[in-house]
Amino acid sequence: MASTSLTCFASSLVLILSVFLTVHFQVTDAQGTQPIVKGLSWNFYDSICPNVESIIRRRLRDVFRQDIGQAAGLLRLHFHDCFVQGCDGSVLLDGSASGPSEKDAPPNLTLRQQAFRIIEDLRRRVHRECGRVVSCADVTAIAARDSVFLSGGPDYLLPLGRRDGLNFATRNETLANLPPPSFNASLILSSLATKNFTPTDVVALSGGHTIGIGHCPSFTDRLYPNQDPSMDKTFANNLKITCPTTNTTNTTFLDIRSPNKFDNKYYVDLMNRQGLFTSDQDLYTDRRTRGIVTSFAINESLFFKEFVNSMIKMGQLNVLTGTQGEIRANCSVRNSANYDLFLPSSVGEEKQGTWSEI
């Protein structure tokens, strides 16, 4: 009887807390609450390319209908662009005589190659209709937002007007700005505090792991030679089947409950000791972030609200605006190296690309 009463009390407490959080933290503004930097605007393309967002969303609906897994790849691409040198599309650039590109740095080797092709396909479609007025950095930001929404997450407005960078970061700069999955909460918080992210921002942005996959080498240090005690045993045993050795190249879902749906189940995973990376699970272990994880697990609306705010904040890191940078005619090449730039924008882009072609 006592056990039953205790269970009922706990359930009631969770329900009350959930209602409280829902009432106090409803999403009230599709634009979020973040201020926007000078040079960006909520209606930047209204007069020069009013259909840019509908062009991108319409195309991505088709892409995800064939492979919803591409949504995570596009979201991750935006993260890796913004964290290194700011949201300037530099992660899209190929290497040159000056050295290897950001793509070639270890943290970016597992970025989906298809994501780069999708961004370039979107750029072609937008430029075909509007001319060369929309940056690859903005295309990447819009694609990330639509990846969230089209996989079940919140829809929100984006400040636009980013320009494309002229250079890519060095290998060392890339390594220094992309925290590895082996980082614990202290290291993650310290690293992202340098970009003005709060613990709430860190936990909210980590929620991007509600979709996507992880590669075995990114977490087998938690399995071998000894199992990480913070990992659920059954979860660990299943991972060992997928990753029988430390150098296995297999992959597994980041969120075992709803791997292709953008929701708050990632935080439920963490509460059940089923986070894949150290950088995930330690957010629940660390007292500074444990309460935030719990609140997001209980209340999806709260998670969505904070995720939107943090994404808008991240999407403005060190952006180029005005006359800074350029608007690339090919997302992987600077204009100075792009000989096609001297051709009319319609030349060579008449043919409508298809999913099989990209």
How many CB atoms sit inside 10 A of residue 226's CB?
Answer: 8
With a cut of 90, say whether residue 6 has pLDDT above it. no
How many CB atoms sit inside 10 A of residue 69's CB?
Answer: 17
pLDDT digits (tens, 9 = 90+) for 206-230: 999 999 999 999 999 999 999 999 9
How many CB atoms sit inside 10 A of residue 313's CB?
Answer: 22
- Average pLDDT of 71-98? 94
Per-residue DSSP letter, 50 = T
With a cut of 90, say whether residue 32 has pLDDT above it. no
Say what percent of the chain tops pLDDT 90.
Answer: 82
Specify the pLDDT at position 17.
46
Binding-site annotation, residues for heme b: 209
Of 24, 78, 80, 215, which one is the catalytic site residue?
Answer: 80
Extents of the domains making up the chain: 51-212+254-334
Q: What is the DSSP string of 60-100?
A: HHHHHHH-TTHHHHHHHHHHHHHHTTSSSSGGGPPPBTTB-
- Average pLDDT of 24-50? 77
d(CA 191, CA 231) in angstroms, rounded, equals 24
With a cut of 60, say whether residue 91 has pLDDT above it. yes
List the structure tokens of 33.
């609450």
Specify the pLDDT at position 338.
66
What single-letter amino acid sits at 290? R
Say what percent of the chain tops pLDDT 70.
Answer: 84
What are the backbone angles phi and psi of residue 70, rounded to the nearest 5°? -70, -20
pLDDT digits (tens, 9 = 90+) for 143-158: 999 999 999 999 999 9
Give the SS3 label for residue 96.
strand
pTM, to two decimals? 0.86
Closest among 7, 145, 20 to 82, alpha carbons compared? 145
CA angle 38, 315, 102 (to 5 degrees): 115
List the structure tokens of 43.
């209606």
Contact in structure between 70 and 113 (CB atoms under 8 Å): no
Close Cβ partners of 69 (under 8 Å, ≥ 6 residues apart) = 212, 213, 260
With a cut of 90, say whether residue 10 has pLDDT above it. no
Binding-site annotation, residues for Ca(2+): 81, 84, 86, 88, 90, 102, 210, 255, 263
Q: Does domain 51-212+254-334 have CATH number 3.40.309.10?
A: no
Q: Write down the H helix ranges in the chain.
A: 2-24, 52-66, 70-83, 113-130, 136-150, 171-177, 185-193, 199-206, 233-242, 265-271, 278-285, 287-298, 300-314
pLDDT digits (tens, 9 = 90+) for 229-261: 999 999 999 999 999 999 899 999 999 999 999
Answer yes or no: 78 catalytic. no
Binding-site annotation, residues for substrate: 179
Tell me the average pLDDT of the chain. Answer: 88
Specify the pLDDT at position 96.
76
With a cut of 60, say whether residue 13 has pLDDT above it. no
Close Cβ partners of 124 (under 8 Å, ≥ 6 residues apart) = 349, 353
**Residue 84 backbone class (left: φ over 0; alpha: ψ -120 to 50; beta: rest):** beta
